[in-house]
Amino acid sequence: MLDQLPIPVYKCDTQGFVVSYNKAALELWGMEPKPGESKYGGAWKVFDADGKALTSDHCPMARCLAEKIPVNGGQVIIQRPDGSKRRVQTNPVPVFDEAGEFTGAINTLVDITETIQNEEKQAMLATIVDTSDDAIVSKTLQGIITSWNRAAERLFGYSEEEAIGRHISMIIPSERLAEEDYIIGEIVAGKKVDHFETVRITKAGLKIPLSICVSPVIDKNGFIIGASKIARDISDRKKAEQQKSEFLSLTSHELKTPLTSIAGYLQILDKVTHEESSRKFIHKARQQVQRLTQLVADLLDVSKIEAGKLHLSKEIFDINKVLRETTELVQYTQQTHRIKVFARDKPTLIYGNPERIEQVFINLLTNAVKYSGDSNEIIVSQEHRNNHVYIRVIDFGIGIPANKLNEIFTRFYRVDEFNRHMPGLGIGLYISRQIIEKHEGDIWAESELGKGSIFYVKLPVVTQDIPLENTAIDIINKEKTELNERHDLR
């Protein structure tokens, strides 16, 4: 019957010799005890709880037999012949027969190796959490804070006692409360929220920029029971970014004025110089000044975007006309390439800023030329579908690796390994995306390395039933054109 028991049990006689044991005890010891030889237990070697070798006379079973009293809750480490060690709790109790005669002791052993390992692991994790420089906070799915480490105390100003049990909204600024719904929504769906940049509020009312990562907390049955959040203070980084953007804005402003003067002087020189070789140099100098002016304008745009100050005045205009004109312009300056346009003649009206849309097309077309490799053909097409206009700029050039297709739209990003020798700062597509997004549109790229790329621009078109405010703008636009035409006639 004892063999059915999952817990190791054995009996020693009054001398301490092992007289009987069950299967679980055998498994624990990893060997058979020797009759008349194994004393106080069947283990190969025994150590105390601190790992020091234990002489058999000092083990709990020896004490129980000597004093004839139960010795509960002692801990020993036993080593098996294969070298593996198990930590066990020992509970020897003296045994008396019916006549009250002392006959020995029975010991039940509880293997606590895993429990202790888990406790040690927990303690180690707790130390890591406690000494982390990042705030680590956990909460239930209802947003109630369940843990709050020391870095969280330092960052948010609330002590652990103050924070636990309160709702996480205590550190969320009122205008950002909706973020919590989004985060919990992702967590409930079993997803992680990675490097989410936001702002939280301290006990003293100070707003701090943070980068947070939130992961679901899953119980042993696999149920999502809460969320754990790691928050990193990014105030220094934000400050550095702001300084960089201020520097960018300042220098581009400062460069603009002398550049305009140089351009003006070169224009005058061009007019008054008649000697052919000098004119050639003036022409080249003017081209370079124009490039520099464009670069400065782009840098200025980046700093405007960063400061959230890229404002566009909008009107209703024909995007086909802008597309045709831009293509003609680029074709005129890039005579080495052939740009074919497939666009319908009928106007396609969109509501936006024609100069900015032109800027996007110029960027896409000059990129198509710049990265065309050995090919010299570029195709531009326009399609009208589901109240949207789709413009495609297709080249047969060097192409873009698939994992870079989204990154090329980020600030200062260039696919370095392919275009180190090409001029550029890697901001054209970044600005283009911002412009298109400000038109409720979309811009993306498809590509095959070595075969070419397709850049798409998708924009909403103005439909027949123009909203009231657009109708008014439309009328104003029309009036403006008529006025200009009348002015031209005079």
**Contacting range for ligand ADP; rule: CB under 6 A; set: 10-18, 69-77, 134-142, 360-368:** 360-368
Helix (H, G, I), strand (E, B) or coil at 326: helix
Kindly report the CA angle at 432 between 428 and 438, in degrees rounded to 5? 150
Nearer to ligand ADP, 239 or 291 (CB): 291
Cβ atoms within 10 Å, residue 414: 17
Q: Which of 30, 70, 426, 460 binds ligand ADP (CB under 6 A)?
A: 426
Q: Are the CB atoms for 392 and 456 separated by under 8 Å? A: yes
Q: If 0-12 CB within 10 Å is exposed, 13-18 middle and 19+ buried, where does residue 32 land?
A: exposed
**Contacting range for ligand ADP; rule: CB under 6 A; set: 27-35, 189-197, 272-280, 396-404:** 396-404
Name the maximum alpha-carbon separation found in the chain: 136
Q: Which of 367, 382, 434, 470 binds ligand ADP (CB under 6 A)?
A: 367
Question: Residue 88, interface with ligand ADP (CB under 6 A)?
Answer: no
**Contacting range for ligand ADP; rule: CB under 6 A; set: 139-147, 329-337, 363-371, 458-466:** 363-371
Question: Residue 339, interface with ligand ADP (CB under 6 A)?
Answer: no
CA distances (Å), 466 to each of 386, 439, 473, 489, in order? 15, 16, 10, 31
Question: Residue 61, interface with ligand ADP (CB under 6 A)?
Answer: no
Shortest distance, position 400 Cβ to ligand ADP, whole Å? 5
* Spatial separation of the C-alpha atoms in residues 39 and 66, rounded to whole Å: 13
Question: Residue 427, interface with ligand ADP (CB under 6 A)?
Answer: yes
Give the DSSP letter of residue 176: G
Question: Residue 398, interface with ligand ADP (CB under 6 A)?
Answer: yes
Helix (H, G, I), strand (E, B) or coil at 278: helix
Question: Residue 292, interface with ligand ADP (CB under 6 A)?
Answer: no
* Spatial separation of the C-alpha atoms in residues 115 and 95, rounded to whole Å: 30
**Contacting range for ligand ADP; rule: CB under 6 A; set: 88-96, 181-189, 306-314, 421-429:** 421-429
* Spatial separation of the C-alpha atoms in residues 128 and 342, rounded to whole Å: 62
* Spatial separation of the C-alpha atoms in residues 307 and 310, rounded to whole Å: 8
Q: Are the CB atoms for 93 and 9 separated by under 8 Å? A: no
Question: Residue 477, interface with ligand ADP (CB under 6 A)?
Answer: no
Nearer to ligand ADP, 44 or 413 (CB): 413
Tokens found for residue 264: 């003006």
Q: In what order do the strands lie in the sheet with 224-233?
A: 145-148, 135-140, 224-233, 207-218, 193-201
**Contacting range for ligand ADP; rule: CB under 6 A; set: 299-307, 331-339, 424-432, 434-442:** 424-432
Shortest distance, position 392 Cβ to ligand ADP, whole Å? 12
Kindly report the CA angle at 311 between 358 and 329, in degrees rounded to 5? 10
Question: Residue 305, interface with ligand ADP (CB under 6 A)?
Answer: no
Question: Residue 429, interface with ligand ADP (CB under 6 A)?
Answer: yes
Question: Residue 424, interface with ligand ADP (CB under 6 A)?
Answer: yes
Site string for ligand ADP, 400-419 (x = CB under 6 A): x-------x----xxx---x
List residues binding ligand ADP (CB under 6 A).
Answer: 363, 367-368, 371, 395, 397-400, 408, 413-415, 419, 424-430, 453
